[in-house]
Copies of this chain bind each other. A is one copy, B any other.
């Protein structure tokens, strides 16, 4: 995917009422990852990803297990296994601030620094890459001799939708 090296940030499309993710796109990315690793993109993995994509919002692992349960009960551990695969594939991220998981729109290149903006009203998550943030982080790391490997950047706040029209 093309970068904007000139811009300090790349905004997420501000579609106010988009709550779902492009399921096909994310699914083919997962499939591509599976193929590249010689691993199967199994039914369980597809089901978890499809559910998250359709939801468009973060879900707890047990919540996923519940939704996927029909005649047969889906156990949490099965969901965690699928989530692990999907996270490695870059199709799903974990929100550390609330121990939940969500499907991710876009491909994150190499060491791209992504900010998750989590709305405390409606729960929606937006992602945005920011070169400025990335440089800032490299900066503080450098001054302390710290070698950063994996950044976790989450903003809790209120999304545009909820600011303009307060919830229920």
Contact = CB atoms under 8 A, between A and B. Distances in A.
Interface of A: 8-9, 11-12, 14, 96-97, 115, 117, 119-120, 126, 128, 130-137, 139-141, 143-160, 163
Q: Tell me whether chain A's interface is mostly helix, strand or loop, or mixed.
A: mixed
Contacts of A159: 144-147
A53 to B, nearest CB: 20
Contacts of A154: 96, 151-153
A153 B141 CA distance: 12
A84 to B, nearest CB: 16
A155 B141 contact: yes
A128 B157 contact: no
B133 A117 contact: no
